[in-house]
Amino acid sequence: MTIYDFKVKDAQKNEVSLGSYRGKVLLIVNTATGCGFTPQYEALENLYKKYKDKGLEILDFPCNQFLNQAPGTDEEIVEFCKLNYDVSFKTFSKIEVNGSNEAPLYTFLKKAFPSDTENEETSSFLKLLNDLGQSSVGSDIKWNFTKFLVDRNGNVVGRYSPTYKPEDLEAKIKELLGE
């Protein structure tokens, strides 16, 4: 099974085959509209505008599993992102990224890359999660705005913690785009 074998629902509930993204560099992100990391939407949109014509696609999967920080309907989430961050990349239907109801795509992503690439802010972030009673062990997604990077051949080549800013991925994205 490859990433291209998965089908997901977009925010309008249409089925989308990830096979339609074959040959693109993908940045897959579980997001939330009421999270401390929500301002990352601005940096994600900047990356998208800068590299979409060169083959970058950002796939936004809202998730309400972390302190209910993605409330509202799919339509309300899309509207929030458009109004507040002028988001033009694809937003999909709200999903779960951990547990018995996790989306099969996320089961695949976590198996392909079971741990986050961390940065200097990660350890204090993990301490905060522990203080909130959130698990920070194993391959589970730890929080909103965990990012997976997929190359043009569909290989998952990176998993980045929520503290990893989108702009810090630019060099890796350029490399994958062949720049």
In the set 26, 28, 35, 95, the catalytic residue is 35
* Helix (H) / strand (E) containing 46: helix 40-51
- 35 flagged as catalytic: yes
Cα(78)–Cα(85) distance, integer angstroms: 10
Please, are residues 57 and 101 in contact by the beta-carbon 8 Å criterion? no
- Token readout for 9 is 């629902």
Task: Please name the residues in contact with 108: beta carbons below 8 A apart, sequence gap of 6 or more.
Answer: 1, 3, 6
Closest CA to 60 of 156, 145, 138: 145
Q: Which residues are within 8 A (CB) of 41 and not within 5 positions of it... i.e. 6 or more apart? A: 31, 81, 84, 85, 87
User: CA-CA distance, 47 to 56, in Å (whole number)?
Assistant: 8
Question: Catalytic amino acids?
Answer: 35
